[in-house]
């Protein structure tokens, strides 16, 4: 089992797409095991995207990410990291495959609806950036209340 961090970005939250994004992930068998809404401060957005700090779009990206609330999720499943990336589609919606979230809903390369960790190392940094241990409830710990 793998865990990955997913963010419903401010553009998608503002457009009422939270439910549709979660629905598409759940429909593929991914399990929500952490979930909350957060309005990032500029510094928090900069810390999250620190790997991009030298890129020309860093300031624009971090302003966008701090422009309104995001929905943060931890999703769990077999090969969850790759599965989420496939369902998201390419960064640029013009290059994203038909049926992906970004192809369906993104309005630009920046306002592209959703974030998903791109590797196990990224997930290991990103999940604890937003979630503490008590806020993540893995399927394996759900006992008799689990429908899985
Ligand atoms: P991802 O893993 O597909 O999200 O893409 P990256 O890690 O390369 O970039 C992180 C985020 O920065 C993307 O999801 C976009 O929101 C934004 N971004 C990426 N490339 C560009 C760009 O060329 N211009 C702008 N304005 N934003 C970009």
Question: Is 2-40+69-139 CATH 3.90.1150.10?
Answer: no
Residues 11-58: pLDDT tens digits? 999 999 999 999 999 999 999 999 999 999 999 999 999 999 999 999
What does the pLDDT read at residue 142? 92
Cβ(112) – ligand 1 distance below 6 Å = yes
Distance 90 CA to ligand 1 centre (A): 10
- Residue whose pair of structure tokens reads 């592209």 in the numeric block: 112
What does the pLDDT read at residue 86? 98
- The residues carrying an active-site annotation are 115
What does the pLDDT read at residue 67? 98
Q: Are strands 114-116 and 70-77 parallel, antiparallel or unpaired?
A: unpaired
Judge whether residue 145 has pLDDT over 90.
Answer: no
Going by C-alpha positions, the residue among 115, 130, 122 that lies closest to residue 61 is 115
What does the pLDDT read at residue 148? 55
Distance 140 CA to ligand 1 centre (A): 33
Which DSSP symbol is given to 52?
G
Q: Sheet harboring 70-77: ordered strands across?
A: 31-38, 70-77, 2-8, 114-116
Helix intervals (H) in 3-72: 10-14, 18-27, 42-48, 58-65
Residues 96-137: pLDDT tens digits? 999 999 999 999 999 999 999 999 999 999 999 999 999 999
Domain boundaries, the chain: 2-40+69-139
The closest residue, in CA terms, to atom 9 on ligand 1 is 91
Residues in the chain: 148
What gap in Å lies between CA 25 and CA 116, rounded to an integer? 11
Neighbouring residues of 59: CB distance < 8 A, sequence distance ≥ 6: none
What does the pLDDT read at residue 147? 58
Cβ(61) – ligand 1 distance below 6 Å = yes
Q: Which of 8, 51, 61 to mutate to test the pocket of ligand 1 (most atoms within 8 A of CB)?
A: 61
Predicted confidence band of residue 143 (pLDDT cuts 50, 70, 90): confident
Cβ(109) – ligand 1 distance below 6 Å = yes
What does the pLDDT read at residue 144? 63
Residues 72-107: pLDDT tens digits? 999 999 999 999 999 999 999 999 999 999 999 999
What gap in Å lies between CA 107 and CA 92, rounded to an integer? 9
What does the pLDDT read at residue 38? 98
Cβ(13) – ligand 1 distance below 6 Å = no
What gap in Å lies between CA 61 and CA 103, rounded to an integer? 19
Which residues partner with 77 through β-bridges?
2
């Amino acid at each position: 089992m793998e865990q990955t961090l997913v963010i419903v970005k401010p553009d998608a939250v503002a457009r009422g797409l939270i439910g549709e994004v979660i629905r598409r992930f759940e429909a593929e068998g991914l399990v929500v095991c952490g979930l909350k809404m957060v309005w990032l401060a500029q510094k928090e957005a900069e810390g999250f995207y620190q790997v991009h700090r030298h890129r020309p779009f860093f300031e624009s990206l971090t302003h966008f990410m701090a422009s309104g609330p995001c929905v943060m999720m931890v999703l769990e499943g077999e090969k969850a990291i790759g599965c989420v990336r496939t369902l998201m589609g390419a960064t640029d919606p013009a290059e994203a495959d038909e049926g992906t979230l970004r192809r369906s809903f993104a309005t630009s390369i920046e306002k592209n609806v959703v974030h998903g960790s791109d590797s196990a190392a990224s997930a290991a940094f990103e999940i604890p950036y937003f979630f503490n241990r008590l806020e993540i409830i893995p399927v394996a710990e759900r006992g008799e209340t689990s429908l899985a």
